[in-house]
Structure 1
Amino acid sequence: MNVCYKVHISGKVQGVYFRSSAQQQAIDYSISGYARNLSNGDVEVLLCGEQSNIDNMLAWLAHGPEQAEVDSIDYEQVARQEHHFFSIG
């Protein structure tokens, strides 16, 4: 069963290829949704897919790509949304 989570990542997460790396991970885990920069320097990610794949993606988001310095990650399950791919906004 597919579920969706909205994730908020804080730290040094802009300008370090966080979104494009998240997109590649999402593709690898068959997850749809998006990653976008927020005006305060954080990143917001929407993940939709199988729960086990979401769990793996959340674990990856907790540290992000090599250049990132994740200070915190908050997430909540949200209403299921229909996305056909993982986009960067």
Structure 2
Amino acid sequence: MVVCKRILVSGRVQGVGYRFYTMLEAKRLGLVGFARNLNDGRVEVVAKGAEEQVSQFIQFLNHASPAANVTSLQIEENYRWDGKGFSTH
């Protein structure tokens, strides 16, 4: 079953390679979506793909970059996104 989730990642996640590592893992898992910095210091991630791969990806987000310090993940289920590929902004 294909699912799409929006995840807001809080902590020290900007300027530490977090989006880059996120993109690599998403591509490895065959997911589509994006990762982008928000003005408030969080990173917004959208991931769409097979339910099991999206679940694995969300677990990965807790430690995506060695230099990051993730303090929380806020997950929005059933997000609607129709893009292609996985990109960073």
* TM-score, reference length from structure 1: 0.94
Tell me by how many angstroms 1:39 deviates: 0.3
Q: Describe how 1:1-89 pairs up with structure 2 within 5 A.
A: 1-89=1-89
Distance in 2 of aligned mates of 1:51 and 1:16? 28
Which structure 2 segments of 5+ residues have no match?
none
Q: How many residues align?
A: 89
Cα root mean square deviation, aligned: 1.0
Find runs of 4+ consecutive structure 1 residues off by over 4 angstroms: none
Q: Secondary structure at the match of 1:78?
A: coil
Distance 2:79 2:55 in 1: 17
Question: Hey, what's the Cα distance between the residues in 2 that align with 1:42 and 1:21?
Answer: 15
TM-score normalized with structure 2 length: 0.94
Shift of 1:28: 0.3
Aligned partners of 2:67, 2:15: CA distance in 1, in Å? Answer: 9
Percent identity (aligned): 34
The answer (yes or no) to whether the contact 2:10–2:71 under 8 Å persists in 1 is yes
Contact 2:6 2:79 in 1 (8 A): no
